[in-house]
């Protein structure tokens, strides 16, 4: 049987062809979910959803825009009647060092990776409270735990560490409403976020330092999201799941 039969799942940052969000949308759909893909470009989001199947939807939604998040949640409830799962997956990075972070870059990185998690959660939680059930999975990163050192700068580490605190606080606050909130902390996953930013030699060096001796792929993070979205994890909230090949065993 299917792990997400008839569940409605909203996934942010899920239109990118090689991304973790789209891999998650495909995996959730294969487990019976109706998927709502959110991404910056409405057309790309709609096309990505249609390519999975006619019962899925894609909406344009910039997660840094509180009104856009509210509209996306309203539209989802109009079309599907409920929202069971939210995956706060949208994110951007920038490989710079501390002394190079200018105010605009700080704002941009913090806004998408951290503020966006707040805004989309705020948009969806009232519906989950009505249902008295819901699962929210948030994208953090190993960069939050080890202080970067892979691809993102210190502002990215700070934003992704902020996600851990925000998610744990929401897990505490909304547990009584039967809404679970958890995080994933991936290591280096081969998607377009790092495309062209690491040489094959750099990737080889990183792989050699990882116990599983390789980088990860988008489907392997989607699997962790599926576990957190499904009832398999019904007694798990405020947790952080490492998906990093053993890069950070602690």
Q: Measured from the CB of residue 178, what is the shortest distance to ligand NAD in angstroms?
A: 26
Q: Are 42 and 58 in contact (CB under 8 A)?
A: yes
For the bound state, the minimum distance from the C-beta of residue 199 to ligand NAD, rounded and expressed in Å, comes to 15
Return d(Cα 15, Cα 25) in angstroms, integer: 9
Phi, psi at residue 245, to the nearest 5°?
A: 65, 15
Q: Name the residue nearer to ligand NAD (CB basis): 163 or 179.
A: 163
Q: Residue 150 to residues 16, 60, 71, 107: CA-CA distances in angstroms?
A: 21, 30, 35, 21
Structure tokens at 124: 């969806």
Catalytic residue positions? 156
**200: which 2 tokens?**
């094959």
Report, in Å, the least distance between residue 5 CB and ligand NAD: 26
Residues that bind ligand NAD (CB under 6 A): 12-13, 15-16, 19-21, 38-40, 61-64, 89-93, 112, 116, 139, 141, 186, 188-189, 191-194
Nearer to ligand NAD, 2 or 212 (CB): 212
* 3-class DSSP state of 183: strand
Q: Which residue is nearest to ligand NAD (CB)?
A: 91
**Nearest CB to ligand NAD, comparing residues 61 and 164:** 61
Residues 166 and 117: beta-carbon distance below 8 Å: yes
The smaller minimum CB distance to ligand NAD, of residues 42 and 176, is found at 42
Q: How far is the CB of 22 from ligand NAD (least distance, A)?
A: 8
Instruction: Give the number of other Cβ atoms within 10 Å of residue 119's Cβ.
Output: 23
């Amino acid at each position: 049987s299917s792990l997400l039969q008839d569940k409605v799942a909203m996934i942010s940052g899920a239109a990118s062809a090689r991304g973790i969000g789209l891999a998650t949308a495909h995996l959730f759909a294969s487990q019976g979910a109706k998927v709502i893909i959110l991404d910056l470009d409405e057309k790309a989001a709609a096309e990505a959803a249609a390519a999975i199947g006619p019962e899925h939807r894609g909406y344009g939604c910039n997660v840094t825009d509180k009104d856009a998040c509210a509209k996306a949640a309203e539209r989802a409830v109009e079309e599907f009647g409920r929202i069971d799962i939210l995956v706060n997956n949208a994110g951007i990075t920038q490989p710079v060092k501390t002394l190079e972070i200018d105010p605009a870059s700080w704002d941009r990185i913090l806004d998408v990776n951290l503020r966006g998690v707040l805004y989309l959660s705020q948009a969806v939680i009232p519906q989950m409270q009505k249902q008295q059930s819901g699962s929210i999975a948030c994208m953090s990163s190993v960069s939050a735990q080890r202080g970067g050192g892979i691809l993102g700068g210190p502002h990215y580490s700070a934003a992704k560490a902020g996600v851990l605190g925000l998610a744990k606080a929401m897990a505490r606050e909304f547990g009584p409403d039967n809404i679970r909130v958890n995080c994933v902390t991936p290591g280096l996953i081969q998607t377009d976020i790092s495309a062209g930013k690491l040489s094959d030699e750099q990737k080889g060096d990183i792989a050699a330092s990882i116990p599983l001796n390789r980088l990860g792929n988008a489907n392997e993070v989607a699997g962790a999201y599926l576990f957190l979205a499904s009832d398999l994890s019904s007694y798990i909230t405020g947790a952080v799941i490492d998906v990093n090949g053993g890069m950070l065993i602690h």
